[in-house]
Structure 1
Amino acid sequence: MPRSDSNAADANSLARKNAAQQYGQAERGRGPHPLPLFWQLVHAEVKDDAARRARVMAAVRRYQDAPRAAPMPPPDVVAEDGGTRLLSYGGGEGRAVVFIPSLVNPPDILDLDEERSMMRWFAARGRRVYLIDWGTPAAAERAYDLADYVLRIERLLAGLGRPVVAGYCLGGTLAMAVAARGGAAALATIAAPWDFSGYTDERRDGLAAFWQRTKPIAVPLGSVPMNMLQPAFWSLDPGAPVRKFEHYAAMAADDAEARRFEAMEDWANGGAPLTLPALADTFEGLFGGNKTGHGEWRICDVPVTQDAIKVPWVNFISSTDRIVPAAAAPRSPDDRHVACGHVGMVAGSRARPLLWEPLDQWIRSL
């Protein structure tokens, strides 16, 4: 017999909850996550090229089985607000410099290893360097939207006076809000999105469709795990996951760059769940409505605009970024275009001359 509308609704609700439980379980082993969707990307990219497919599959297995280096000494925790911590890397006695990573993925990409740690390099240059680690949202924090995270940053920075604030990716968007609200002495933005009309309609429509599919599954969880979000980032450059594993396949087993690839891939597949309101702000308010680009983003009922930023501001824009294309970046009094990708500009082999050193020189000039 056909089910009633009520029974059908109950069945749909149960199916969503079951799917949410599946996504919410910790994935076994290392990434790429979710692996079935990754293999779909591989098949779409390589088509009937069996040799290429085998090469990518072997590279993924190699990555999964590779030993990991011992972790570096952890930085000191100097302040906490809920699940978020302010980490200190030491350094000199001058004005504090606080780095704000994206809400997505851990902050590790700014502290990758001894040679590619942006944080430890700045500390060695005599900077008093801090890094925000967003941590895992507790139950009481699951109602946090992007404005709440800006207010959290301001509370963590309260003991530092008005520091220099440097934001990477979505952390740069949040850093702009901190500066616009008077919480920073100077601002640096790195691969930060602001004008979301700079994304193509195809990309924005694809992300909107992804969010409409994902939101009903995520609601029973109360937050969104990274393995559910990863396909959204893959969709911005669908060929990139395949190309990077092909590049890794060509590296020697004892190559330091192979170790860094493994560390970067662990970072890309890691991260705590994100709150539903913060993601709704991102997908609906930013990508969907371009609230920042239109001057409609508000915190405590006050608009947050580029024009409200009155402090010295340098803006590093990647000219080859597919995660945050140059057209989506804000425009500052001091825009600097970097010929490096979204991750490479902060942790790649050319990060030091292209970003770290120019940023250090700019801070010295304040």
Structure 2
Amino acid sequence: MSTIFDDAPQHGGTHGPRPLPLFLAMLRSETAADPARLTRALAGLRAYQDAPREAPMPTMPAVAQAGRATLRDYGGSGRPVVFVPSLINPPGILDLSAETSLLRWLATQGMRPLLVDWGTLGAEDRDLDLTDHVETLLVPLLLSLSEPPVLVGYCLGGTLAVAAAARTPVAALVSIAAPWHFSGYGVQSQAAMAAMWAAAAPVSAALGMLPIEVLQAGFWQLDPARTIAKYAAFGAMPPEGAAARAFVRLEDWANTGAPLPHAAARTLFEECIAQDSPGAGRWPVGDAIVDPMRLGCPAIEFVSLTDRIVPAATAIGLPERRDLALGHVGMIVGTRARTALWHPLAAWIGTHAARNPFW
């Protein structure tokens, strides 16, 4: 007997949720009792796969390189402000479009933003753990600058930025939606991530890298109903409207992440998530344990209270903190991002960029 899945858009060009078979299996499970919802979601999936794509934002010039990582210059003037993105999703979320590029906007606000581009993973990177990313990639990029920068880390990039700020002079540190106390994920989520890693670890070890598809599937499972609902809603959007174009940009970004080096994945799941090594004060970088409360620079964290990917309970706990009622990605590119994050961030950086850091 044929089913609606016989006509499911499984081969819609190169665009689509990754991994698509797992997405379709989740869709089948979530809509088993609601055929109409299934139909809407499949229509949305087809519309997403067939939607026209805008030209990507131009790649900015590299001003420094360390291993596979480069530092890209977004213009502007003044003390450098270095943004450290996550290792998991592409850095393009900080430069997603002309309307939603935090980096290009900051360059118009009397600042000089630079972006860490982690580059393309090679076989030689399989043994780079999270500490190595700090010591052999991030810190050398920072030391290439003519003066200590303001360091801004987003998501897992914020975790790495804290460690870098403990290893090298920075004028100030900003953490945005960065996990530190990994125990804040809670026992149930930690158990689910442990099970996911147990299943994926042999493949990761064999390949020397953890495919993004494994992590993407984990993100979907945080809220499968919402994942299905957003595709159902997209199918009803005017295809040329601003909301539809924004959806396509964001989904394309989410579906083009790079793999993690095996060693980085292993330390993330086995040490950070399972043992809470940063939050428990057991993460050595260089010759010392990283302690966010003993950094030699001003520091602030921006925390999302509605974040499913990095819950507020995982926050660092810095004395200076701003709470936002925006999601993990919405705080960067959402319709309220400018007023809720961009402007307060620029004001805080402007206040601290002129100081002479003591080291």
1:272 to 241, 258, 268: 258
Q: Distance in 2 between matches of 1:348 and 1:361?
A: 19
2:45 to 60, 84, 93: 60
1:48 to 19, 33, 43: 33
- 2:193 alignment counterpart: 207
Decide whether the 8 Å contact of 1:79 with 1:156 is kept in 2: yes
Q: Distance in 2 between matches of 1:335 and 1:247?
A: 34
Q: Distance in 1 between matches of 2:211 and 2:128?
A: 15
In the alignment, is residue 69 of structure 1 matched against residue 57 of structure 2?
no
Matched position secondary structure for 2:71: strand
Unaligned runs of 5+ in 2: 1-11, 353-359
- 2:226 alignment counterpart: 240
Unaligned runs of 5+ in 1: 1-26
Aligned-pair CA distance for 1:28: 6.6
Aligned-pair CA distance for 1:70: 1.5
Decide whether the 8 Å contact of 2:26 with 2:224 is kept in 1: yes
- 2:122 alignment counterpart: 138
- 1:114 alignment counterpart: 98
Query: For 1:3-14, what aligned pairs fall within 5 Å after superposition?
Result: none
Question: Which residue identity is paired with 1:54?
Answer: T
Q: Distance in 1 between matches of 2:233 and 2:155?
A: 24
Decide whether the 8 Å contact of 1:237 with 1:323 is kept in 2: no
Aligned-pair CA distance for 1:67: 1.2
In the alignment, is residue 356 of structure 1 matched against residue 342 of structure 2?
yes
Query: For 1:1-366, what aligned pairs fall within 5 Å after superposition?
Result: 29-92=14-77, 94-151=78-135, 152-160=137-145, 161-366=147-352
Q: Distance in 2 between matches of 1:203 and 1:332?
A: 24
Question: Which residue identity is paired with 2:40?
Answer: R
Matched position secondary structure for 1:188: strand
Decide whether the 8 Å contact of 1:162 with 1:183 is kept in 2: yes
Matched position secondary structure for 2:81: strand
Q: Could you report, residue by residue, the CA deviation over 1:70-127 in whole angstroms, capped at 9, with x for unpaired residues?
A: 12332111111222111000001x1110001000011011100000001101011121
Q: Distance in 1 between matches of 2:26 and 2:251?
A: 16
Decide whether the 8 Å contact of 1:154 with 1:183 is kept in 2: no
Question: Which residue identity is paired with 1:67?
Answer: P
Q: Distance in 1 between matches of 2:13 and 2:87?
A: 23
Q: Distance in 2 between matches of 1:77 and 1:285?
A: 33
Q: Which has the larger displacement, 253-262 or 356-365?
A: 253-262
Q: Could you report, residue by residue, the CA deviation over 1:1-37 in whole angstroms, capped at 9, with x for unpaired residues?
A: xxxxxxxxxxxxxxxxxxxxxxxxxx97222011121
Decide whether the 8 Å contact of 1:199 with 1:328 is kept in 2: yes
- CA-based RMSD of the aligned residues comes to 1.4
**What TM-score, normalized by structure 1, do the two folds share?**
0.90
Aligned-pair CA distance for 1:200: 1.8
Change (3 A) 1:347 1:197: same
Q: Distance in 2 between matches of 1:42 and 1:216?
A: 27
Query: What is the aligned length?
Result: 339
Q: Which has the larger displacement, 72-81 or 148-157?
A: 72-81
Decide whether the 8 Å contact of 2:17 with 2:255 is kept in 1: yes
Question: Which residue identity is paired with 1:47?
Answer: A
Q: Distance in 2 between matches of 1:72 and 1:170?
A: 23
Decide whether the 8 Å contact of 2:57 with 2:97 is kept in 1: yes
Q: Distance in 1 between matches of 2:300 and 2:238?
A: 38
Decide whether the 8 Å contact of 1:142 with 1:275 is kept in 2: yes
Decide whether the 8 Å contact of 1:314 with 1:333 is kept in 2: yes
